Amino acid sequence: MIRDLRKVSEKLEGTAENHDKLKLWLRLLTCTIKVENLISNRLRAQFDTTLPRFDVMAALARSEGDLTMGELSKWLLVSNGNVTGVVSRLVKDGLVERRRAKDRRIQYVRLTATGRRQFKAIAAAHEGWINQMLDPLSDGDVRSLMKQLSKLKGVH
Amino acid sequence: MIRDLRKVSEKLEGTAENHDKLKLWLRLLTCTIKVENLISNRLRAQFDTTLPRFDVMAALARSEGDLTMGELSKWLLVSNGNVTGVVSRLVKDGLVERRRAKDRRIQYVRLTATGRRQFKAIAAAHEGWINQMLDPLSDGDVRSLMKQLSKLKGVH
């Protein structure tokens, strides 16, 4: 993600007009990018994997049964093409397997036993990282942030 | 960005353990992705442009003088390669111009007059969209969110 955050923030701080919502948006974006970058680096360093791979594995781990490629794409909110590439690499690594349905136009995907085991380990580490990174927030901060951010659920 | 948000959230809601910080992180991510997607769609529909193009133009508009490609990459926190592609397309469209320094290994980039004009129009629309999307937040919410999120500034 390309984001010219520092310059924009500095420029806005110096202006008299009310840019509070724009400043808040830039702060939200900065926090999210920082945390995502840290997670991405740790996934690579500690598990030799990437965020898209982790997200695909999370979708498969949490689904009730096998998912079609179409369902998987829908959950992940990305184009089928991207998911296909990520799934292919996971298959190559023995973490995911593909299966043809009776209707041979449909293909199901699911985690292998190795994939499930690896996902559990990564997910536990991931939650540990988040707890550590968000540690400066008190329980009250967390509750209040949840409540305020929920007002943006219907954003359109 | 691939993110299996709904499934993860639903799963976590149903568990007894304390996953408050992970839930907050997923909510932060959901809000950010939703707003970014909306902005991305409007940039495309109303200005036939993209977030990376807008971000490069913002960096150039806000810099004091011309930027080298290296400086531009640093501001944008992405690899030189990506920035090069975005800049090339902006040059082709007459919005950005390249200039060789005396030291011919260094190349400066800056907005053309047309580029500056277009950036001003897009930036004004962009702030309008943000104000509209964040409208559900009261002034108090905005102040409180800024304060709480600032605790994550040193995240590492």
The 3-class SS string of A100-132 reads: ECCCCCCEEEEECHHHHHHHHHHHHHHHHHHHH
For residues A48 and A33, which has the higher predicted lDDT (pLDDT)? A48
B12/A contact by beta carbon, under 8 A: no
Per-residue confidence (pLDDT) for residue A122, from 0 to 100: 97
Residue A2 in domain = yes
Per-residue confidence (pLDDT) for residue B1, from 0 to 100: 47
Residues A32 and A100 in one domain: no
Number of A–B residue contacts, CB under 8 Å: 191
Q: In this complex, do A155 and B35 lie within 8 Å of one another by their Cβ atoms?
A: yes
Per-residue confidence (pLDDT) for residue B30, from 0 to 100: 86
Residue B82 in domain = yes
- SS3 at position A151: coil
Residue A90 CA to residue A60 CA, distance in Å, equals 12
Q: Both tokens of residue A70?
A: 């179409």
Residue A114 pLDDT > 60, yes or no? Answer: yes
**Residue A19 banded pLDDT, cuts 50, 70, 90:** very high
Residue B155 in domain = no
**Residue B60 banded pLDDT, cuts 50, 70, 90:** very high
For residue A90, give the CATH number of its domain: 1.10.10.10
Residue A135 in domain = no
Residues A56 and A118 in one domain: yes
The mean pLDDT value for B100-124 works out to 92
Residue A81 pLDDT > 70, yes or no? Answer: no
**Residue B65 banded pLDDT, cuts 50, 70, 90:** confident
Residue B9 in domain = yes
**How much of chain B exceeds pLDDT 70, in percent?**
86
CB atoms within 10 A of CB A125: 15
- Contact residues on chain A for B33, CB-CB shorter than 8 A: 77
Residues A79 and A39 in one domain: no
Residue B138 in domain = no
Residue A11 pLDDT > 90, yes or no? Answer: no
Residues B20 and B58 in one domain: no
Task: Give the range with max mean pLDDT: A33-37, B31-35, B56-60, B144-148.
Answer: B144-148
Residue A44 in domain = yes
Residues B5 and B61 in one domain: no
The mean pLDDT value for B64-82 works out to 74
Residues A74 and A91 in one domain: yes
Per-residue confidence (pLDDT) for residue A7, from 0 to 100: 53
ipTM value, please give it: 0.83
A148/B contact by beta carbon, under 8 A: yes
Residues A114 and A82 in one domain: yes
Residues A42 and A64 in one domain: no
B103/A contact by beta carbon, under 8 A: no
Residue A83 in domain = yes
Residue B112 pLDDT > 80, yes or no? Answer: yes
Instruction: Give the gap in angstroms from C-alpha A98 to the nearest C-alpha of chain B.
Output: 20
Amino acid at residue number A107 = Q
Residue B79 pLDDT > 70, yes or no? Answer: no
Per-residue confidence (pLDDT) for residue A153, from 0 to 100: 84
A4/B contact by beta carbon, under 8 A: yes
Residues B93 and B120 in one domain: yes
Residues B120 and B73 in one domain: yes
Q: Which of A64, A71, A148, A150 to mutate to test the interface with B (most CBs of B within 10 A)?
A: A148
A120/B contact by beta carbon, under 8 A: no
| Residues A126-147 pLDDT 10s | 999 999 999 999 999 999 999 9
B44/A contact by beta carbon, under 8 A: no
Instruction: Give the gap in angstroms from C-alpha B107 to the nearest C-alpha of chain A.
Output: 20
Per-residue confidence (pLDDT) for residue A1, from 0 to 100: 47
* Average pLDDT score, chain A: 86
Q: In this complex, do B136 and A144 lie within 8 Å of one another by their Cβ atoms?
A: no
Amino acid at residue number A89 = R
Residue (of A51, A22, A56) closest to A39 by Cα position: A51
Residues B108 and B54 in one domain: yes
Residue (of A30, A25, A31, A38) closest to A3 by Cα position: A30
Q: In this complex, do B22 and A151 lie within 8 Å of one another by their Cβ atoms?
A: no
Per-residue confidence (pLDDT) for residue B23, from 0 to 100: 94
**Residue B6 banded pLDDT, cuts 50, 70, 90:** low
- SS3 at position A97: strand
Question: Per the structure, how many domains does chain A have?
Answer: 2
What are the angstrom distances between the C-alpha of A126 and each of A20, A38, A60, A119, A130? 32, 11, 17, 10, 6
Domain interval for residue A122: 49-128
Residue (of B135, B134, B113, B132) closest to B124 by Cα position: B132
Residues B72 and B116 in one domain: yes
